[in-house]
Amino acid sequence: MRHAIFLAAFVLTGALGGVAPMLGQDSVQSTPSSPATGTPIADSRATDYEESIVVTASALAREANKLPASVTVLDSEEILARQAVSVADLIATVPGVGVVASGPPGQVTSTFVRGAESDQVLLLWNGVELNNPYFGSINWAFLPADGVERIEVVRGPFSSLYGGNAVGGVVQVFTGDHDGGQLRLEGGSNGYTRAGLAAGHSFGNWRFDVTGHSRRGDSELENGFFDSDELVANLAWTPADGVEVGILARANKSTSGIPLSGGQPALERMIDWSESQIVIPVRIEKGNWKIDGQLSQVDFESAFRDPQDPFGFTRSDTDSQARRARTQASWQPNSRFGLAFGGETERLEVTDSSTFGSNLDAADQRTWALFSELSFNAGPLTLDIGARRDDNNLFGAETSLRAGLGVRLGDGWRLWTNYGEAFRPPTLGELFFPFSGNPNLRPERAESFELGTQWRWRQAPGGDWRLSVVGFQNRQQDLIDFDFVTFTNINVGRARSRGVEASLDVDGPRLDLRANITYLDAEDRTTGLALLRRAEWSANVVVSLTPHDDWKVTLTSRFVDDRPDVDPVTFGRAENPSYLRFDLAARWQVSRRFAPYARVENLADEEYAEALGFPAQGRTWIGGIAVAF
């Protein structure tokens, strides 16, 4: 019965979008960039969909409709229309992606792609990996959407291109250039205030861009506050045609209260989080050759405090650092053939201490890697082959392969299939943390198959229609689990995820609709139980309309079915009920410079928890104004 109710709501929401006009353009335009260099790439909203270029799913910039892979692009128009302030909120509506927040904004937020663990998803920010070296995780709560012009979500294994962690998929966030600037001021429920800035200007051969925000606010729970500040600056120099050198820097500092612990109020528990990245990209293009290079350093600092903890765990301090160098050369003599090859090296280091003493003291590991990729197009056929070899000083060498084949069937139809291998390396915490650490751990390994088809109908009523259906299966082995007999981490886990993703996208003169539904069967092959926090059914609808040329209205709906979870008090398995959430956003472009806007998050005031025992925020009202200059 619950499925029937949801499907009716899903269809009704999509039908409402059919009478809606399409989004207009914002007054501040920008161009997305390549992951390694900040080089402008084709806009994802090109007039012809076949011109949409993606760079995350291949070492070569490729047209989306020719890639034998599942890729979803969230462009600047959708980001603006939804008024999202976090990347997690945006990718939560992508097929096959599950986002789980442990309560209101600012709490620990994880992402699962096609059933893979949250630490098996690779997050890239302008080509820089943001997975924490300590345990490989990502707290998506601290990644805002300020200055983000494009997000590419690639589902499936991509260790053949990026090495470790890309088991379930890759999420890449791109910031862009800005002509002029925009200041956003907003406020709302629970003492929420936020100021955001995005600005840029060119000076001859030089270009400078800056984005940032300052946020303050509480939640409906005591000690549920979330304060955040961020600044991103990009300086690029073009000394000659085809040559660009830059420096890109980001600093984020966030503080969150942690209102609940074991189902009970925690009135003084909190965490301070600081994150910084500095990147030096270089790009050289000469004829059919292109060389991209990048040096980067990422620093994470966290400080946990709880002076009232009943077990005496009152503090924990962690410093993590990742230094990387990556270079890649590509040769494309014509539209049918492309070859890319390159190398990468990284050094990871972690220091951690707590109330009970030192846990890790500058523990480190080093990896060297070589990779290559070949793409060949012959008539309706496309063939991609990629391989990568990683050599680590602690766990040895891993080889990752990937192959994909696509074929255009005519009349807007295309079919693709691919096979990929991936691994997740044991982290420094899993290797060396006192008592549970095991220096003999091997990488987690996975192999995946995918079969997909897409139908595009340009002459459909309302504009350009695209219908996609993808089936996938992912098998994992040597998963790292804690052994209660030896009290150490060991490679004993096995898992299998399989399912189907179906999506419908409509782009027309009076409609922008994104709808998808996912079926997922994710099983722990060791116990035979369903994997925790993975819903069997999930679906999303994003409808954007313009009742008038100066108005934009966007309704986002997200459904997540019942799923197994952990009871926060007993720590036993329990069922987390399904939920259906709606968000509504509206924007009025009064003039070229001024645009007031408003949004209602959790419009129906749905009572639910993405993570059992940690209630999500109720209905939240927010209003603001954007000022262009």
- Which tens digit of pLDDT belongs to each residue from 251-262? 999 999 999 988
pLDDT of residue 267: 93
* pLDDT of 77 above 50: yes
pLDDT of residue 39: 39
Structure tokens at 403: 């192959």
**Alpha carbon distance 83, 26 (integer Å):** 12
pLDDT of residue 222: 95
Q: Which residues 6+ apart lie within 8 Å of 534 measured at CB?
A: 98, 112, 115, 497, 520, 522, 563, 564
Structure tokens at 358: 């030192």
pLDDT of residue 460: 62
Mean predicted confidence (pLDDT) in 30-47: 40
pLDDT of residue 65: 82
Please name every residue paired with 299 in a beta bridge, in sequence order, or none if there are none: 276, 321
pLDDT of residue 459: 67
Q: Which residues 6+ apart lie within 8 Å of 23 measured at CB?
A: 77, 78, 80, 81, 512, 544, 545, 546, 552, 554
Structure tokens at 527: 């116990």
CB-based contact 577:608 (threshold 8 Å): yes
Residue 45 pLDDT grade (very low, low, confident, very high; cuts 50, 70, 90): very low
**Against a cut of 0.75, is the pTM above it?**
yes
Phi-psi region of 462 (alpha: psi -120 to 50; beta: other; left: phi over 0): left
Of residues 426, 390, 324, 366, the one with CA closest to residue 160? 390
pLDDT of residue 192: 98
Pairing of strands 264-265, 169-175: unpaired
Mean pLDDT of the chain, nearest integer: 91
Mean predicted confidence (pLDDT) in 339-365: 97
pLDDT of residue 462: 67
pLDDT of residue 10: 42
pLDDT tens by residue, 512-545: 999 999 999 999 999 999 999 999 999 999 999 9
pLDDT of residue 510: 78
pLDDT of residue 1: 42
* pLDDT of 621 above 80: yes
Mean predicted confidence (pLDDT) in 353-369: 97
| Least confident residue range of 30-39, 55-64, 598-607 | 30-39
The Cβ-side half-sphere exposure at 433, using a 13 Å CA radius, reads 18
Q: What is the 3-state secondary structure (H, E, C) of 23-92?
A: CCCCCCCCCCECCCCCCECCCCCCCCHHHCEECCCCCCCEEHHHCCCEEEEEEHHHHHHHCCCEHHHHHC
pLDDT tens by residue, 428-464: 999 999 999 999 999 999 999 999 999 998 766 667 8
* pLDDT of 7 above 80: no
pLDDT of residue 451: 98
pLDDT of residue 81: 95
* pLDDT of 619 above 50: yes
pLDDT tens by residue, 493-510: 999 999 999 999 998 777
**Alpha carbon distance 452, 415 (integer Å):** 6
pLDDT of residue 276: 98
What domains does the chain contain, in order, with CATH numbers?
2-628 (2.40.170.20)
Mean predicted confidence (pLDDT) in 602-621: 97
Residue 37 pLDDT grade (very low, low, confident, very high; cuts 50, 70, 90): very low
Mean predicted confidence (pLDDT) in 378-395: 96
